[in-house]
Amino acid sequence: MIPYNGKLKNHARRLRKDMTDAEKLVWSRIRRKQLEGCQFYRQRIIGNCIVDFYCPKAGLVVEIDGGQHYSEAGIKRDEARDNYMTANGLKVLRFSDRDVFEDTDAVIERIFLNLPLS
């Protein structure tokens, strides 16, 4: 089990309340075990990070990136987070919010393809 920073609980709750439109769209398609019966959690704390979506059964993290992720600092921060996740045995899928809005089905299919088959 990966430890988590309990000091991030309130921030994670706030992020769940204030999800972006792209996150809401993905959440509407993966919540309630809609994909292969796999449970996803939103705004989950993993270590010192809060990830957008996490599926423990698949060891899968799904991130929806807005504009702030494409600055030099954002790219470095995401790379460090991804390295932490993969070092802990997790797979990270990243999508831009544009990907979500322009082709939601393709995003969901890619997530589906990374889930264990029932």
pLDDT at 118 over 70: no
Q: Which tens digit of pLDDT belongs to each residue from 54-77?
A: 999 999 999 999 866 667 888 999
Orientation angle between helical segments 104-113 and 21-30, nearest 10 degrees: 50
Q: What is the mean pLDDT of residues 79-97?
A: 96
**Per-residue pLDDT, 1:** 76
The mean per-residue pLDDT over the stretch 19-46 comes to 96
Residue 95 φ then ψ, to 5°: -130, 145
Structural domains in the chain (count): 1
**CA 78 – CA 108 distance, rounded (Å):** 21
Instruction: Give start and end residues of each alpha helix (H) in 18-118.
Output: 21-30, 72-87, 97-102, 104-113
Residue 1 lies in a domain: no
Range(s) of the domain holding residue 100: 6-113
Q: Are 43 and 52 in contact (CB under 8 A)?
A: yes
CB 44 within 8 A of CB 54: yes
Q: What is the CATH number of the domain that holds 70?
A: 3.40.960.10
